[in-house]
Amino acid sequence: MSGAEDTPPDDPADDPGDDTPRPARSHGRVSIAAQAARQGNRPRDLMADPDAWTANVITLFPDAFPGVLGLSLTGRALALGLWRLESIDLRAFGVGKHRNVDDTPAGGGAGMVIRADVMAAALDRADPALPIIYLSPRGAPLTQARVRQLSQGPGVTLICGRFEGVDQRILDARGIEEISIGDYVLTGGELAAQVLIDAAVRLIPRVVGNQASLTEESFSEGLLEHPQYTRPSEWEGRRIPDVVMSGNHAAIAAWRREQAERLTKERRPDLWRAYEGRATGATMDPTKDRQLSGASHQAGQHPAHDKDEPR
């Protein structure tokens, strides 16, 4: 084993001699309801909705959650019970005196790999009704369409990778989907998990107050968003375009559409091709689209994890 993550925990509650897995941590309204129950009082407005959209997160760092998800709109929605968050500590399912979760790669190589049996035990603690996603640089790119699908379901179980990744056998055995948030490598999947959760939660009804804003942002119609402006009308010699200030709503809408199309053509030719393809019914070329999007090395040309960081 290598790295501080493989040392025995210092918390007495994590006594390495105790093989009993610790319970998953609940966040937001779930924990509030539990506290009220201990006090002999469970107000109706603090009781968790069992049908709320739920994110189960399997991680070696449960204290990373809710993180930024506990702030602003997502944090308020969590407190109101519009969605639920359960962090499952992978270390609790480790083996041996030190609760090891990883081992050396079969066939040799640098780093460590998370064991299939350990991950399987953690997954058994998650809601079996939820789809399972492993955050991985070799996964399919996360898209707004996939986020929307997830937001309309019961929730998701997310695996936060560390070290050199996860034993392929557990991914195959459980039919786990792999998703990437971009063509770069992080030290772990916790940030990626928070990105996916944030993107999905904001689409849940009542989370974002102005639902109309969701239909006007980037990717809602397959295009990047048009430029936005606000007061003052002139700043450092730069004026808001006259058409935007004209009060002619038809002209403003046409200008915004033109700008959205221009930006998409210039910055995301892959999105533009897909947009045109939907309009004309043309058959897409997946290989060319991956090249245009810069996603051609999602398929594994780059290492799944940073070899210089214990994960």
Binding residue ranges: 161, 181-186
Angle of helix 72-80 relative to helix 190-201, nearest 10 degrees, comes to: 70
Contact 135, 194 (CB under 8 A): no
Distance of CA 288 to the CA centre of its chain: 26
Binding-site positions for S-adenosyl-L-methionine: 161, 181-186
Largest CA distance in the chain: 72
Which tokens hold the place of 174? Answer: 């459980």
Contact 98, 265 (CB under 8 A): no
Contact partners, residue 14, CB within 8 Å, separation at least 6: 8, 22, 91, 99
